[in-house]
Amino acid sequence: MRYDPWINIASSADPIFGFTDQFAIRWRGQILITTPGLTTFSLTSDDGSRLYIDNSAAPLVDNGGLHPMLQQSGSIWLAAGYHDIRVEYLRT
């Protein structure tokens, strides 16, 4: 298991990842909510990104499509405990 406080790909040519200019990535994991309540998530991406919570069919944050750097947010009420999280990113 690995803890990532955020997902950050600074450049599509990053030698650590070895990506070309066109790629898609899916991250899956869990997030621990310590206090129940309204939680806001944001995605900032150049091209498409989406965030899903607890295997929902619809994204909580939909920053999809081809676009320059753009931020989108979404809020959801979450109970205390672990919740599944999935982030999808497309770079073209």
Number of structural domains the chain divides into: 1
Indicate the SS3 state at residue 32.
strand
Per-residue pLDDT at 12: 47
Supply the DSSP symbol for 66: S
Mean pLDDT of 8-12: 58
**Residue 47 is assigned to a structural domain of this protein:** yes
**Residue 21 is assigned to a structural domain of this protein:** no
Domain region containing 79: 29-91
**Residue 7 is assigned to a structural domain of this protein:** no
Give CA–CA dist 32/48, Å, rounded.
25
**Residue 24 is assigned to a structural domain of this protein:** no
**Residue 82 is assigned to a structural domain of this protein:** yes
**Residue 15 is assigned to a structural domain of this protein:** no
pTM for the whole structure = 0.80
Give CA–CA dist 92/73, Å, rounded.
22
Mean pLDDT of 58-72: 91
